[in-house]
Amino acid sequence: MGRPLRRHAPGQYYLVTTRCHQARFFLRPDRELNAAVLEWLARAQDAFPGLRLHAICVMSNHLHLLVHDQKGELAAWASFFLGNLARAVNRIRKRSGTFFERRYAAEPILDDDALIDRLVYVITNPVKAALCSRARQWPGIVLWANEGVAIERRVCWIDRDAQRRARGTVPNADGSEPRTAQGPLRIDPLPGNGMGSLNVAEAIRSREQALAAERRGERRTTMTAAKVLAQSWHAAPRSPKRTPRPLCHAADSALRRAFMEGFREFTALFRDASEQLRNGARSALFPDWSYPPGRPLLRPALATSA
């Protein structure tokens, strides 16, 4: 049993990352793709209101999200959102088969400084890749709240379930307009304690300027939006980056060490329980907030009764 072993206790901030199969540009932005992302973000938010979204950036072959999991629902939320998004994009691209390369990575963020750093990383991802000069120029989905208040946008989509109920399995068989549904998509700002909107906005602007200076030094040019949109979704980078994901993000080294020690203990308890289960001990005790084989998230008794 190797990484990643999941421990999804409530109240944790996460950087969530997942990449397309073979690093292909399945998520290359266009009108239909962007609409599908917004639809399933809104529907996932409706299904799991305890999962707060603070930032999202959808690149052509991967996506990043910064979320706050208030109820220990991250795994269920990710399964709902990423699974439905994969099916929707496969339908748009008229393809089938594997969409995401492997299970998503979810890295806990342990302190305020790391939280700002990871939000800036998510938002400026297309700038770092030299695909645009400013994050807001990216033609794909880049969302965050930088005014100190949440932003809400009304998202509309075709209600395919209503269509099937009304007309069978053939959409618009009677020539009528597609039935639509709608729901809100909320992006929450980061909390207080030095993480105000001005700090975030300034941090994003400073990072964009630093990346522009690096490009000038390396004599790299920025790709235009037209070139991004003209890329084939079949394509992939010549040399996709494959770097190991960290266990956590923390500016405070003491917090990082404490997390690593706790995770090692958690892993040891899980492996011991797994060994007992393989040897026939069905009463093996797995640690709280873990996923025993073939079972859902193991919540403490107090959390279950609350």
Q: Are the C-beta atoms of 20 and 5 separated by less than 8 Å?
A: no
Q: What is the mean pLDDT of the chain?
A: 87
Question: Has residue 259 been placed in a domain?
Answer: yes
The token pair at 261 is 């020690």
What percentage of the chain carries pLDDT values higher than 90?
64
- Both 259 and 210 in one domain: the answer is no
- Both 173 and 296 in one domain: the answer is no
User: Which is higher by pLDDT, 89 or 8?
Assistant: 89
- Both 293 and 242 in one domain: the answer is no
- CA 38/CA 156 separation, integer angstroms: 9
- Both 234 and 280 in one domain: the answer is no
Average pLDDT over residues 144-150: 81
Give me the pLDDT at residue 193, please.
44
Give me the pLDDT at residue 23, please.
93
What percentage of the chain carries pLDDT values higher than 70?
88
pLDDT tens digit sequence for 108-137:
999 999 999 999 999 999 999 999 999 999
- Both 63 and 154 in one domain: the answer is yes
Least confident of 33-47, 56-70, 141-155, 200-214: 141-155
Residue that finishes a domain, picked among 251, 274, 297 = 251
Cα distance between the two ends of the chain: 32
Give me the pLDDT at residue 103, please.
87
- Both 49 and 144 in one domain: the answer is yes
Q: Find the domain containing 297 and state its range.
A: 252-306
Question: Has residue 1 been placed in a domain?
Answer: no
Question: Has residue 19 been placed in a domain?
Answer: yes
- Neighbouring C-beta atoms of residue 288, cutoff 10 Å: 17
- Both 225 and 92 in one domain: the answer is yes
Q: Are the C-beta atoms of 114 and 123 separated by less than 8 Å?
A: no
- Both 202 and 299 in one domain: the answer is no
- Both 176 and 202 in one domain: the answer is yes
Question: Has residue 137 been placed in a domain?
Answer: yes
- Both 142 and 60 in one domain: the answer is yes
Is the pLDDT score of 10 beyond 70?
yes
Give me the pLDDT at residue 88, please.
96
Q: What share of the chain is helix, strand, coil (3-state, %, to 5)?
A: 40, 15, 40
Give me the pLDDT at residue 200, please.
85
Question: Has residue 213 been placed in a domain?
Answer: yes
CB under 8 Å to 15, separation ≥6 — which residues? Answer: 64, 65, 66, 105, 106, 107, 109, 118, 121, 122, 249
Question: Has residue 3 been placed in a domain?
Answer: no
pLDDT tens digit sequence for 254-306:
999 999 999 999 999 999 999 999 999 988 999 999 988 888 889 887 554 44
Which residue type does 97 have? G
Question: Has residue 182 been placed in a domain?
Answer: yes
Q: Is 18 exposed, middle or buried (0-12, 13-18, 19+ CB in 10 A)?
A: buried
Residue that finishes a domain, picked among 208, 223, 251 = 251
Average pLDDT over residues 218-237: 86
Least confident of 66-70, 177-181, 261-265: 177-181
Q: What is the CATH number of the domain that holds 93?
A: 3.30.70.1290
Task: Tally the domains of the chain.
Answer: 2
- Both 269 and 241 in one domain: the answer is no
Q: Are the C-beta atoms of 193 and 112 separated by less than 8 Å?
A: yes
- CA 38/CA 153 separation, integer angstroms: 10
- CA 204/CA 119 separation, integer angstroms: 9
- CA 216/CA 107 separation, integer angstroms: 32
Give me the pLDDT at residue 165, please.
66
- Both 38 and 126 in one domain: the answer is yes
User: Which is higher by pLDDT, 161 or 185?
Assistant: 185
CB under 8 Å to 129, separation ≥6 — which residues? Answer: 59
Least confident of 73-77, 219-223, 235-239: 219-223
Question: Has residue 6 been placed in a domain?
Answer: no
What's this model's pTM, rounded to 2 decimal places? 0.88
Sorting pLDDT into bands at 50, 70 and 90, what band is 194?
A: very low
Is the pLDDT score of 39 beyond 90?
yes
